[in-house]
Structure 1
Amino acid sequence: MQRTSVELFAGGGGLVQAGEKAGFRHLLLNEFAKRACETLEANGYKACEEGARPSLPKAGEKAPLVAGDVRKLDMEYLREQEVDLLAGGPPCQPFSLGGVAKGDEDQRNMFPEMFRAVREIRPKAVLCENVRGLLRPSFKPYFDYIQRELELPFVERREGTAWFEHDRVLLERLKSEDTDPSERYEVLKMSVNAANYGVPQIRNRVILVAFRADLGVDLEAVEKALRPTHSEAALVRTFLDGSYWGEGRHSDVEQHVQDRVMARYGDELPFGEGDDGGLAPWRTLRDAIEGLPPINLKKLDKDTPQGGVPDHIGWPGAKIYDGHTPNELDRPAKTVKAGVHGVPGGESVMLLDDRKKDEGSGVWTYLHRYMTVRETARVMTFRDDWKLKGPRGERMRQLGNAVPVQLGEVFVKAVADALDVAEKRT
């Protein structure tokens, strides 16, 4: 049986691709940002006007994309479809360390719309991804409230009621244990680093996974299924035993680069001699961009796709300075962020294998450049044939706001497996 899903805040399509890879059939997508909608349209999703109630897609058809304000989106017609998964990453600016941190008072907070969607659709499961800023101590009381709202989405907050007043109502209802299981959700909160799930990027996020209580899903089994699969310790072991540089991997990397990497670790594991649990090595930036044509540093012209690869265009002006250090090829990339080149910190600058020697001092200096949009998409584990629309800054913004496909697939597949097990019992 093919599982079905609805996705809000679809953005540039990271979680959309993840759902498809995990075998889900999308019934509806929604996105507000114009350029992100153009990206989704370019990948086969047919846009409908704001507030539309589109027909359900036929077998083999792409889901309709309702472009516009989610607050004008009617989803009640989907209830009879018994939707398996409602997914999305509500806009995270209210909680981001880089944002204004107004929390619930910020009008960009779209969690209330996610809970409205739950009431209208009654999905079997809900998946929400968001920034680690939600876990900041100053936001903990409100984030706890968000989780309780997801537990009891049908206990609606009255207009004009402060969130902490509604939170007291939710707490009382949870203590009473008298809510209909079909209107209550069991919630699992997970703080994750995408690198620990095979994404070639350090990306710390918080993910909420919820299942309708009447289904009897085993949350402990879900949590076990979502344990990390990759580790830094395993990566370092491949450096020390030489397998990272071995036949079939990166054997063409020059010795001076290997020496630079190995100088960081010496000849011993910095994690001790304990077992790494048999986990796979973290994937590195070098792993991610393997197979892409090299960028000609003499042609950073903002215009020419190099090697005939879309979005693989050299960009001038990359700098390195204190507080703005580059990505290293033999580490997972830094967090991809939603800016033109990333934000201060060097997130989109890459240190290269190429170097030049100062004739006066004899000192070697390694060269650097901006990552291309295609390389950044690889770091986000997007498919190479996934089209991105808009100027460079908009494409980078879409990638920075997205869920890495590989991370999303792990979680969406865990949801499907948990539902399979639960439904076999009934």
Structure 2
Amino acid sequence: MTSYPNSVELFAGAGGLAMGVERAGFKTTAIIEKDKWACQTLQQNKSFFTATNSNSLEIFHGNIEEFDFSTLTKNVQLVSGGPPCQPFSLGGKHKANSDNRDLFPQAIRAVRELRPQAFIFENVKGLTRSTFSNYFEYIRLQLTFPDIVQKSGEEWFEHLCRLELHQKQSSYDHHSYQVKTQVLNAANYGVPQKRERVFFVGFRSDLNISWSFPSQTHSKYRLILDQTKNGGYWDRHKVPKEQRIYTELSKNNLTNLEKEIDLLPWSTVRDALADLPPPYSRSIKSNVKSNRVTAHFAQPGAKAYKGHTGSPLDEPAKTLKAGVHGVPGGENMLRFHDGQVRYFTVRECARLQTFPDDFEFHGSWTETMRQLGNAVPTELARVIAHSILKKLHILN
């Protein structure tokens, strides 16, 4: 019988990270999420997150601060999640630890109380900015030594100093974790989206595991070559020569091509959406019934303006975003070569995040786009989780 290591997902959203972990070979036993629409999405697609059967998965709707991890009776090998990114995002208020939406302390609590063999946490690249450098190190050290908790009345910077002192004076043991961090671009792993995120990955120190982040498999320079030197990209999509308008990528030199010659080309928006029919109107009900693609309705109102020009058809998409007050005007639009723009449909966004076509989302268009904008691309999650699973299987 196949053995599936148990995983628990925090701050799950629509479940992109959880699905990637599941595809890698883990068994999701519990998901914790506070947004009601995301929870409805998770319930609707419960079968995607269970390696054996949907009855083995519990979905908890509520605030993680109130969650009692002792209620999870199954042994947990992996904890994963993406704590809310607004405190660190470029579009946010940049309050970091003073923002009450910073839930990294709850991620650390989960590690402390569940004692998993490994964990994966994801956040926006903005967390790595120099203005957050002390707090970034604070997060890393708390994940390294989760038992060294903040004392009552102790400021976070004082706690950081105590953690740094502990790191200098103490050897790593079964109460600590070996933690590695790295910013990854999803496009470098076959995702049709230029999405940079920082990942925290840790292994329990007593396991004595040596691990590094997976090497990239896809390359911008290989895409340039595919679009310029040999034309294979255009031939594959049956684009007539007179319509082959080279993208901004092709203006770059190919000096890096030699070292990346064995990699695959970046996947583009055209690659991801090539077999989808044009978006259909909500007013044409017959199309809804006959078309096999769900959530592929056209959304009116897209406009291009300075700084919001949309994602070019023949590059990976710009980073899909959730937005505090709905969907931004640029990142979630498709831009054609003639300058016309339109919003990506929900199904197109799901493809850009590497969700399967039969995955259904709950909530309004804005709520659904928020779920998608906050998600971890499932393929990137799978690559990372699979590299972790290979190391944990050494123990079995």
Aligned mates of 1:415, 1:161 — CA distance in 2: 35
Q: CA deviation at 1:119?
A: 1.4
1:38 corresponds in structure 2 to: 40
Paired residues, number: 389
TM-score, structure 1 as length reference: 0.86
Q: What secondary structure is seen at the aligned counterpart in 1 of 2:258?
A: coil
Provide the residue aligned with 1:343 in structure 2: 328
- Aligned partner of 1:108 in structure 2 is 101
CA shift, 1:254, in A, is: 3.4
Question: Which consecutive unaligned segments of at least 5 residues does structure 2 have?
Answer: none
Structure 2 CA distance for partners of 1:332 and 1:301, relative to 1, 3 Å: farther
The answer to whether residue 208 in structure 2 is matched with residue 208 in structure 1 is no
1:229 is matched with which residue?
A: 217
Change in CA separation of 1:348 and 1:139 when aligned onto 2, cut-off 3 Å = same
CA contact (8 A) 2:4 2:51 kept: no
Superposed displacement of residue 126, structure 1: 0.8
Q: What is the SS of the residue equivalent to 1:61?
A: helix
**1:146 matched to which residue of 2?**
139
CA distance in 2, matches of 1:57, 1:409: 14
Report the Cα offset of residue 8 of structure 1: 0.6
Q: Work out which of the two has the higher radius of gyration on C-alpha atoms and give 1 or 2.
A: 1
In 1: Cα distance, 2:56 partner to 2:243 partner: 46
1:312 corresponds to which residue?
296
- CA offset at residue 321 of structure 1? 2.1
Distance 2:174 2:192 in 1: 39
- Give TM-score scaled by structure 2 length: 0.92
Paired residue for 1:254, among 240, 258, 266? 240
Aligned to 2:70: 76
Q: 1:44: how far off?
A: 2.6
Equivalent residue letter for 2:106? E
- Distance in 2 (CA, whole Å) between partners of 1:66 and 1:392 is 24
Q: Which residue of structure 2 lines up, in the alignment, with residue 50 of structure 1? A: none
Amino acid at match of 1:71: E
> Counterpart of 2:226?
238
How far does residue 72 in structure 1 lie from its aligned partner after superposition? 1.1
Out of 258, 261, 264, the position equivalent to 1:274 is 258
Does the 8 Å CA contact 1:10/1:88 hold for their aligned counterparts? yes
d(CA) in 2 for partners of 1:187 and 1:264?
Answer: 35
CA contact (8 A) 2:27 2:51 kept: no
Range moving further from structure 2, 235-244 or 148-157: 235-244
Contact map agreement 2:22 2:51 (CA 8 A) in 1: no
The residue identity in structure 1 corresponding to 2:70 is: E
* 1:119-138 residue CA offsets vs partner (Å, 9 max, x unmatched): 11100001000000101111
Q: CA deviation at 1:97?
A: 1.1
Partners of 1:11 and 1:398 within 8 A in 2: yes
Kept after mapping to 2: 8 A contact 1:341/1:348: no
Task: For residue 324 of structure 1, report the CA deviation from its aligned partner.
Answer: 1.5
Match of 2:178 in 1: 186
Q: CA deviation at 1:210?
A: 0.2
How many angstroms does 1:42 deviate by? 1.0
Find 1:23's aligned residue among 22, 25, 32. 25
* 1:377 and 2:350 correspond: yes
Q: What is the rounded CA distance, in whole Å, between the counterparts of 1:302 and 1:230 in structure 2?
A: 40
Q: Aligned partners of 2:249 and 2:183: how far apart in 1?
A: 28
Cross-structure match for 1:156: 149
Q: Describe the superposition over 1:252-294 as per-residue Cα deviations: whole angstroms up to 9, x where unpaired.
A: x233431x1268636x844356331411110000111121112
The C-alpha deviation readout for 1:374-394, integer Å capped at 9, x for no partner, is 001100001111110001000
Aligned to 1:290: 274
The one of 7, 23, 36 equivalent to 1:5 is: 7
CA offsets 1:37-59 (integer angstroms, 9 cap, x no match): 110111137xxxxxxxxxx9986
Gaps of 5+ in 1: 46-55, 354-364
State the secondary structure of the residue aligned to 1:261.
coil
Equivalent of 1:166, from 153, 159, 165?
Answer: 159
Matched letter for residue 166 of structure 2: R
SS at match of 1:182: coil
1:61 deviates by: 2.9
Identity between Structure 1 and Structure 2 (%): 40
| Cα deviation code 1:329-355 (max 9, x no counterpart) | 1100000000477324x11221236xx
Q: 1:216 to 1:315 in 2, by over 3 A?
A: same
Residue equivalent to 1:99: 92
Q: Describe how 1:44-55 pairs up with structure 2 within 5 A.
A: 44=46
Cα shift at 1:159: 2.4
Which residue of 38, 54, 63 corresponds with 2:57? 63
